[in-house]
Structure 1
Amino acid sequence: MSRKIGIVTVLYNSESVLDEFFETLSKQTYSDFILYLVDNLSSDGCLDLSKELSSRYAFPTIIIENDANYGVAKGNNIGIKRAVEDGCDLILLSNNDIALDITAIEKLVLGMDRHHADLVVPKIYFYGTHKIWAAGGGYKKRNGLTVQYGQEEEDRGQFDEDKKVDYSPTCFMLMSKEIFSSVGLMDENYFVYYDDTDFVYRAVYGKHKTLWYIADSVIHHNESTSTGKMSDFSVRYLWRNLVYFSLKNYNFLYGIYVVLYNFLYINLILYLKYSKKQCVIARKAYKEGYDLYRKNQPIKPTIL
């Protein structure tokens, strides 16, 4: 029996990627889905383009227009709540800077059933290449950061088997709607970056949910369309949210270790990579992350 999927995607100046996103969705072998487009007050033409594309393609699309840029976490939450209210059985969190192979969604659903998984993710290529962006992922004990398996490796079949994993980005992650009743929604304090890391960590380690990488489901990811690579914006939120995530989720001693280790990394190693301005931004972001943690402890998850 088919289950209705609510595909939730957050728009922010995404005009350049939407055509292919809609086109590849329209060709999916699994068609029982509703697309929820949550626009965070984009300043380009993506909202108007979304309305045009939604009338061009046959699958149902619901466009939610926010009155401000609420960030990725809150944008996702708005879409998730609407999809659950509309009776969707499964929720698929999706970036819109992706292109889907024709069976991507169908094979995720089959993989979820095959492994009795709570969450599932596909094999993800860097757009326009045969290089892997992520084949699931995990955590590095040394520095407390996440790792995406196979990143930048040419695909030679080394990730062609399904695998239970501890982490993966939520740029294309399918899950049952019931997961939000126990894990809660996205933590909106992150705004962007680490919101997915936090959600997956709470699900896998906090509530013992199972996350599987499904090798025969494939998408292609055009990374950093909205935020830019290593922009001042990225530097601030990456390091701010690293501190907040580590202190919030890891045990006290390990959380302190991760924060100190990465602070030294910024000052001793990234000095060669960042501009002087960005080094200052990163240091200030550390304090901002600590202040955010102190302000929001304890955080009780929002339950549907």
Structure 2
Amino acid sequence: MEEKRIGIVTVLYNSEKVLDDFFDSLKRQTYRNFILYVVDNASPDNSLEKAKILAADCKFETKFIANKENYGVAKGNNQGIINALYDECDYVLLSNNDVVLEDDTVKKLYAGLIEADADMSVPKIYLYNSTKLWCAGGKYNRFNNNTVHFGYNKEDCEKYSKLKKVSYAPTCFMLIKNSVFYDVGLMDEKFFVYYDNTDFVYRSQKLKKRLFYIPDSQMQHKESVCTGKRSDFFYRYVYRNRVYFASKHRKFWKLKYLEDLIFDKTIRAIKMKNNRGQHEIVSKALKEGYLLGSKK
């Protein structure tokens, strides 16, 4: 099978501790025709310096984009995507750097995309150092504007070993035809981080782009190593962006009760823990997301 050129895009922010495994994974790939685009969002640690040292020991081409401030994951991905398209890459592979790949992850992901005649493809993703799944494809829940990862935290089994079309998957490792970006557009940079991928995939599905889950392609994910799950940062952007996402895609958003319907369980849970600080963060995030959506 002919190897088309793939542009692998990864965005750094406090990524220093995961880069050894990431670069080692890429060095061992049996699929060789790719360029790595490393976008650093002014990481306060030594992410950029570490990436340059590791890249010097690799045979594949690496291009660096060093931002002077943190522009967010959405814009960082866009910078890499634009460079990959400019370099005439046939496909763009959006990749977190907190991942560990099998030697044939990219090869099988590409082969699966071709076999399924897909526009986009995603692998089977395990929780790091575990036989439990992080994501085996997914779907979008229209009731609460959230997403579902098939198989999350469950032991792998035959159920998750079938190639299939899915309506959602995270872009932490997603292979995408270059034509998709010309039709769907780039990431919405207003999201900054979180829900930018949900928005992109949702827009792609509205245009009937074919997204397939390729179970033969496998990898591990060190979930939330760089951003910190359930941190104040997490609460602000997840809940702000869920509101903004709803305002973009739900026609009845102006009915204020929808906001309460989506979030009251979360707010009550925070109140029960007597965490006034996080309650204030979520309350402000809801208002921020509502105002952001009102400006579109």
Alignment TM class, shorter chain as reference: over 0.9
Compare 41-50 and 190-199 and name the one that shifted more: 41-50
SS for the counterpart of 2:158 is: coil
In 2: Cα distance, 1:149 partner to 1:268 partner: 27
1:132-151 superposed matches below 5 A: 132-151=133-152
Cα pair 2:270 2:278 within 8 Å, conserved: no
Describe the shift of the 1:249–1:255 C-alpha distance in structure 2 as closer, same or farther (beyond 3 A).
farther
Aligned letter for 1:113? I
In 1: Cα distance, 2:146 partner to 2:120 partner: 21
1:57-68 superposed matches below 5 A: 57-68=58-69
Aligned letter for 1:238? V
Aligned equivalent of 1:292 = 292
Cα pair 1:144 1:258 within 8 Å, conserved: no
1:264-283 superposed matches below 5 A: 264-272=264-272, 275-283=275-283
Compare 265-274 and 219-228 and name the one that shifted more: 265-274
In 2: Cα distance, 1:74 partner to 1:257 partner: 32
Aligned equivalent of 2:174 = 173
Overall identity of the aligned pairs, in %? 49
Cα pair 2:96 2:173 within 8 Å, conserved: yes
- RMSD of aligned C-alpha atoms? 1.5
Q: CA deviation at 1:216?
A: 0.5
In 1: Cα distance, 2:43 partner to 2:61 partner: 22
Cα pair 1:120 1:212 within 8 Å, conserved: yes
In 2: Cα distance, 1:274 partner to 1:232 partner: 15
Give CA deviations for 1:75-97 in whole Å, capped at 9, x if unaligned. Answer: 00000000110111100000000
In 2: Cα distance, 1:222 partner to 1:150 partner: 16
Aligned equivalent of 1:300 = none
Q: CA deviation at 1:273?
A: 5.3
In 2: Cα distance, 1:115 partner to 1:254 partner: 40
Cα pair 2:25 2:100 within 8 Å, conserved: yes
Q: CA deviation at 1:258?
A: 4.5
Report the TM-score, using the length of structure 1 for normalisation: 0.94
SS for the counterpart of 1:178 is: helix
Count of equivalent residues: 295
Off by >4 Å, runs of 4+ in structure 1: 253-258
Give CA deviations for 1:159-202 in whole Å, capped at 9, x if unaligned. Answer: 00011111011000001111111100000000000000000000
Describe the shift of the 1:258–1:139 C-alpha distance in structure 2 as closer, same or farther (beyond 3 A).
farther
Give CA deviations for 1:1-34 in whole Å, capped at 9, x if unaligned. Answer: 2200000000001000001100011111111000
Aligned equivalent of 1:125 = 126
Report the TM-score, using the length of structure 2 for normalisation: 0.96
Q: Does 1:110 align with 2:116?
A: no
Aligned letter for 1:247? S
Q: CA deviation at 1:229?
A: 1.4
Q: CA deviation at 1:257?
A: 5.9
Cα pair 2:247 2:294 within 8 Å, conserved: no
| Structure 1: gaps spanning 5 or more residues | 298-304
SS for the counterpart of 1:43 is: coil
Q: CA deviation at 1:253?
A: 5.4
Q: Does 1:81 align with 2:99?
A: no
Q: CA deviation at 1:255?
A: 8.0
Aligned equivalent of 2:20 = 19
Aligned letter for 2:215? A
In 1: Cα distance, 2:93 partner to 2:195 partner: 18
